[in-house]
A and B are shown apart, each in its own frame.
Chain A
Amino acid sequence: MTSSLASRGPLSRVRSRRSGSRVDTVVVVTGAFIALLVITAVFAPWIAPSDPNFGSILSSNQGPSAAHLLGTDSFGRDILSRLIYGARLSLLGPALIIVISTSIGTVLAIACAWFGGWFDQVVSRVADILFAFPGLILAMLAVAMFGPGLVAPVIALSIAYTPYLLRVIRSEALRQRNLPYVAACYVGGLSARTICTRHILPNVTPLLIVQATLSFGYALVDLAAVSYLGLGVQPPTAEWGIMVSTGQSSILAGHPQESLFAGVMIIVTVVAFNLLGDRLAARQSTGQS
């Protein structure tokens, strides 16, 4: 799993035969799921049935029951509560990565499109070299430098994701920049900053949203992998990647529930983001054609 996944982009060329105005079930279902997830994460203390960090060895590795809907982990902690609390860091980390990398990527992309010339050349060359570093490798370099935790991997992955977003947005910004309306604005006496922020930026925003949505799932996977490797946030913090890792020792003893449930949460969340991104991309391309 790596940041390069971010550039996989939408694969489906499927054009929905339904008209764009009608409600799209996929968008509604995935959007609702993601919203629900975010609400759960925000209100975790009110929603979680138990304390995610309290458990008794006496009740370790229990199967699902009325008291513990998804059972308990090897420390006797309630898995459901840990999943609910875990959603906080598991979603916050990728969200930070996406915000940072899309912000930097967009600013650089529009600047490249606007200035062109040597600036564009230099930025593109640097991006090319960054492509040579899989995100996870950058994250490990960062951990070697600054030690494990949330900050170093998030910054490293943000850097790794930036060139992918930059490349996609740059080509769209370049297209916009060469459309007649930009020349008209220029002739009309608008400043470069106004044209870029008021005209080019809004026009690349739909693409930006699609790319950010698609990248989110992969950022989640990458960051969870960092935690799984023990390079991110540390136990006993509840986080899905850590849960997969700590649960692994119980698998051999026949108690796979902690790892499996955490793994399923990751898969389902990533599927939701991918489906949403794909569908948004498909709608966008039909809207353009």
Chain B
Amino acid sequence: MRLITRRLVSLVLTLFVASIAVYGALFLAPGNPATLLAGGRATPAVLREIERQMHLNQPFITRYWEWLVGVLHGNLGQSYVYRVPVTTLLAGRVENTIFLVVYASIVIILGGVILGVTAATRRRVSPIITVGTSIGLATPSFVAAIISITVFGVDLKWFPVFGAGSGFTDQLWHLTLPALALATSWLAYTAQLTKAAVREELSREHVETARSRGIRARHVLTRHVLRNAMIPITTVSGLTVAGLIAGDVVVEQAFGVNGLGSFLVQAALQKDFASVQAVSLILVATFVVINGAVDLWSLALDPRLRAGASA
């Protein structure tokens, strides 16, 4: 229990510092946001008025504090470009992003583990999977995107290549290619990792014990090999989460999916600071929180770790 508290405290601290970094980074940017907000021609008086309205004349600490309090109350600030609350702009987009990332995660976990176990246990297909995963690992999500658009979208016309669709089945249909593109490299990574972990476990003495006792091969695989191989696979899945969050930005852009990622790209190009801050914070916070959850999940998986960490 104390262990969990300690992890939570460190998680909140990381989030806090990350929020300062996100906010501070743009504070340091050259140029006056007021000029941007005022548009083309603005008298010094108008600029001062905007600065007053947006609290741009306040010191950094005050402005950061106001922003943070706002964020904690669900107010992510006012878009500099669209002059509406960022939350309004994000509504509807968040859903697409979550759908896409969850879809890709399922593909990665299922595909990666199945391929990895197959590569580890079937000697014949193992080399094929190894070559395939090496190429997959080196395939950036946007290259995977254009390949899948070319093959499945244009040549075979199986899937749409643009937009996110509406309603569950339509969304599923629209987001299949984006999810596959997003999953490619991480699926390959998970497969290689699973293969290595399963091979390692298969050679362990306790697996020999289970075999010697007449435990069915299927049960040996699930209860001992996979169960134990889950530990290294889980430990690095935090990386996969970071990869998915960053990859999401690229894939949304590639398929014209209206989500957080494509919004962030737009906002960055338009120097819409409030929006960039808001989305970056959401993405970073998501990563930190999921990583924390992964951490706790590894503790749950490995009793030795529990003992070592609480000692």
Taking a contact as CB atoms under 8 Å apart, the answer to whether B246 and A248 are in contact is: no
Identify which of residues 1-40 in chain A touch chain B, using a CB-to-CB cut-off of 8 Å: 1-2, 4-5, 7-8, 11-13
Taking a contact as CB atoms under 8 Å apart, the answer to whether A144 and B267 are in contact is: yes
A247 → chain B closest CB, angstroms: 7
Taking a contact as CB atoms under 8 Å apart, the answer to whether B141 and A144 are in contact is: no
Taking a contact as CB atoms under 8 Å apart, the answer to whether B193 and A229 are in contact is: no
Residues of B within 8 A of A248 (CB): 146, 149, 254
Distance of A252 Cα from B269 Cα, bound (Å): 26
Is the CB of A230 closer than 8 A to any CB of chain B? Answer: yes
B interface secondary structure, majority: helix
Taking a contact as CB atoms under 8 Å apart, the answer to whether B143 and A266 are in contact is: yes
Identify which of residues 140-163 in chain A touch chain B, using a CB-to-CB cut-off of 8 Å: 140-148
Residues of A within 8 A of B247 (CB): 1-2, 136
Taking a contact as CB atoms under 8 Å apart, the answer to whether A134 and B146 are in contact is: no
Q: Of the candidates A13, A135, A260, A268, which one forms a contact with B200 in the assembled complex, judged by CB atoms under 8 Å apart? A: A13
Is the CB of A132 closer than 8 A to any CB of chain B? Answer: yes
Is the CB of B138 closer than 8 A to any CB of chain A? Answer: yes
**Interface size of B in residues (CB-CB distance below 8 Å):** 59
Is the CB of A231 closer than 8 A to any CB of chain B? Answer: yes
Is the CB of B264 closer than 8 A to any CB of chain A? Answer: yes
**Interface size of A in residues (CB-CB distance below 8 Å):** 53
**8 A-B pairs with the lowest CB-CB distances in the bound complex, closest first:** A263-B143, A270-B138, A2-B246, A145-B29, A134-B246, A136-B246, A144-B268, A4-B242
A–B complex contacts, Cβ < 8 Å, 9 sampled: A2-B242, A5-B239, A132-B291, A137-B245, A141-B276, A143-B268, A217-B138, A225-B250, A259-B146
Task: Write the residues of chain A forming the contact surface with B, with a CB cutoff of 8 angstroms.
Answer: 1-2, 4-5, 7-8, 11-13, 128-129, 132-137, 140-148, 217, 221, 224-225, 228-231, 241, 244-245, 247-248, 251-252, 254, 256, 259-260, 263, 266-268, 270-271, 274-275
Task: Write the residues of chain B forming the contact surface with A, with a CB cutoff of 8 angstroms.
Answer: 14, 17-18, 21-22, 25-26, 28-30, 134-135, 137-143, 146-147, 149-150, 153-154, 161, 185, 189, 192-193, 196, 199-200, 236, 239, 242-243, 245-247, 249-250, 253-254, 264-265, 267-269, 271-273, 276, 280, 283-284, 287-288, 291
